[in-house]
Chain A
Amino acid sequence: MWKSVVRRCLLMIPQLIALSILVFVIAKMMPGDPFTGMITPETDPERIEELKEELGLNDPLPVQYVRWVKNALHGDFGVSYTFQRDVASLIGERALNTFWLSFVSVILLYIIAIPLGILAGRYQQSKLDKSIVFYSFITYAIPTFVLSLLFLYIFGYKLQWFPTSGSVDIGYERGTIQYIWNKFYHILLPAITYAILGTTGVIQYLRSEIIDAKMMDYVRTARSKGVPMKKIYSKHILRNSFIPIAAFLGFTITGLLGGSIFIETIFGYPGMGQLFITSIASRDYSVITALVMLYGFLTLVGSLLSDIILSIVDPRIRIE
């Protein structure tokens, strides 16, 4: 099995290289250079040339690319000129916020989706099943930003159950229980929105898995042995049906990343997605390139994770 995991990891390398070349080309296409904001009309043109030479901007592109990759591997993505600070530390801070949001979202997602999927599969074709299928259809069809706005309007402004922006209120000391609770409180509404939007896939998978499992020989055997239906569901069917759900985790992460751009912008949550939009608006190119690279990398890790989990639980699909 380890062989398969290593092989899958090796397959990621060419994809990473291709991604980095793409991001590098985009970075080169962007107007402006690392001195934007440092140069005034009084700056001597010779001095600019000197700086360019110093930073190696006159080198051939492949040389620049290799240097860029080397720097990126050391975590050096340059300096953000709007924030006037190191891109890596800036993103690191936001990444932590995005991580917590995604973490709470994934947990809520499974809390909502697993019972619904099980009920729908178990009571197939009942009224309950039909309403669950209809629910998952609606969450599939509704665009992220529309649902987020409606939730923000209803639960944030009209009912005032949740805060409407930010990740934590001012005036709480770091590390105290109140601080953590306040942070969690801010995460909750965007996380619920995320979770609801993500449930479709899990519900549909679980439902069809359970429906398929009902027809399997091992279920018939268990029934003829006299095992009560309740026990067959909890002991026999569920264990088998959870396999694809486990594998779904990687894709869920990928989906969350795409949605984070909308959700964080709408809920004013200072994560990576919001940082991306503000950087685009202020043309902060070093931050943009770093974020595109990071998102691409995380997407690759997500699909890697899914493949690895799948190869652990289902030996038939290991890469040879």
Chain B
Amino acid sequence: MSFKKKKRYRKRRARGVQVVFREFQKDKLALASLFFLIVIIAFVFIASLFIDQESLMRINLYDRYSAPGEKYLLGADQGGKDILGQLIIGARNSILIAFAITVITGFIGIVVGLICGYFGGWVDNLIMRFIDFFVTIPSLMLIIVFVTLVPKYTVMSFILIMSAFLWTGTARLVRSKALSESRRDYVSASKTLGTSDFVIIRREVAPNLSSLLIVELTLNFAGNVGIETGLSYLGFGLPPSTPSLGTLVSYANNPLVLQEYWWVWLPASLFILFMMLAINYIGQALRRSADVKQRLG
């Protein structure tokens, strides 16, 4: 009897994925955002396989600023290059780079944050002073300065420069959570049993931070898309040979293009806008499902 009861209880208990799923079911807009994001990312990645980047970037002056129509679905730019093709390639690059930066900064931030929060003491003090300093420097400006200083500028160096400046937020957050977590009884109990610190951090503390981390990384991803496209817009992002969404938007710096040839820059702007809205909305829904008090479902 009691065994049966237990079983039923287990069935009813929502597991991690189910909680998230229920949250999305309750919030139709979040579900729509998720659907939208999956569709556009899938579209961008599949479509980019069929685009020959060399023929795309070939300049064709006859089609200079040709309006959206049969030949070019979204028109052409200054060099007669297809906007739709550039949009797809640019979106793929922007998404991949933002993803790479999110993974790198996430990894550094989590490792540093866990070490600081778990061990405390002088290690924590030293690293936190360093992070405090990082927070007070004008990072956007310094990223731009370093981008112009690097002699052989590639996509990789851009990713590394961005990551060097953007890992501190995650580290701070993880540290504050790890700090309170590592004072809990289960950690002391585990220590008493003789578990090594590495195992405690890796197998006991870190999993308890996972829900928080998923939210943080999602929002970071959105932020990184914003920063990368913004820097590319200013001309300090991806090298010119690698089109980004920001590069397309930057054509609007020419007032003539901004006024007359809206098809050159508007689709990319709207693409960035809706992608950011969708990712951020998903992030918020995830945050709600990570917090019992805020859940809708």
Contacts and interface: CB of A to CB of B under 8 A. Distances in A.
B132 to A, nearest CB: 8
Interface in B269-290: 269, 272-273, 276-277, 279-281, 284
Contact of A280 (B137, B236, B252): B236
Contacts of B148: 280, 283
Given A15-B133, A137-B280, A29 B258 contact: no
A166 interface: no
A292 B146 CA distance: 12
Interface string B135-163: 01110111011001100000000000000
Nearest to A298: B138
B277 A277 contact: no
Contact of B258 (A15, A157, A292): A157
Nearest to B147: A280
Nearest to B258: A153
Nearest to B279: A141
A262 B230 contact: yes
Contact of B145 (A146, A265, A292): A292
B234 A299 contact: no
A157 B254 CA distance: 13
Contacts of A22: 137
A296 interface: yes
A26 interface: yes
A97 interface: no
A68 interface: no
A143 B272 contact: yes
Given A143-B229, A143-B276, A280-B236, A296 B137 contact: yes
B280 A149 contact: no
B280 A143 contact: no
B138 A296 contact: yes
A149 B249 contact: yes
Contacts of B133: 15, 18-19
Interface string A19-60: 100100010011000000000000000000000000000000
A261 B276 contact: no
B141 A291 contact: yes
B272 A146 contact: yes
Contact of A26 (B145, B266, B281): B145
Contacts of A292: 138, 141-142, 145
B282 to A, nearest CB: 11
B87 to A, nearest CB: 15
B280 A141 contact: yes
Contacts of A283: 148
Contacts of A277: 144, 234
B222 interface: yes
Nearest to B230: A145
A115 interface: no
Interface string A260-295: 011001000000000011001101000010011001
Contacts of A300: 136
A142 B141 contact: no
B234 A143 contact: no
Contacts of B266: 153
Given A29-B149, A292-B145, A143 B230 contact: yes
A303 B138 CA distance: 12
A157 B259 contact: yes
A138 B277 contact: yes
B142 A141 contact: no
B53 to A, nearest CB: 25
Chain A CB within 10 A, most for which of B246, B258, B265: B258
A191 interface: no
A144 interface: yes
Contact of B136 (A138, A152, A303): A303
Interface string B234-252: 1110000000001001001
Contact of B284 (A137, A145, A150, A299): A137
A257 interface: yes
B258 A152 contact: yes
Top-9 shortest CB links A-B: A141-B280, A295-B138, A143-B226, A141-B276, A157-B259, A141-B277, A146-B269, A145-B233, A145-B230
Interface of B: 132-133, 136-138, 140-142, 144-145, 148-149, 222, 226, 229-230, 233-236, 246, 249, 252, 255, 258-259, 262, 265-266, 269, 272-273, 276-277, 279-281, 284
Given A26-B145, A157-B255, A299-B138, 15 more contacts: A19-B137, A26-B149, A30-B149, A138-B277, A141-B279, A142-B276, A146-B249, A149-B249, A257-B138, A262-B234, A276-B141, A280-B144, A281-B235, A292-B138, A296-B136
17 contacts: A15-B132, A18-B133, A26-B142, A137-B280, A137-B281, A141-B222, A142-B273, A144-B230, A145-B249, A149-B249, A149-B252, A150-B269, A153-B258, A153-B259, A261-B144, A280-B236, A303-B136
Interface of A: 15, 18-19, 22, 26, 29-30, 137-138, 140-146, 149-150, 152-153, 157, 164-165, 257-258, 261-262, 265, 276-277, 280-281, 283, 288, 291-292, 295-296, 299-300, 303
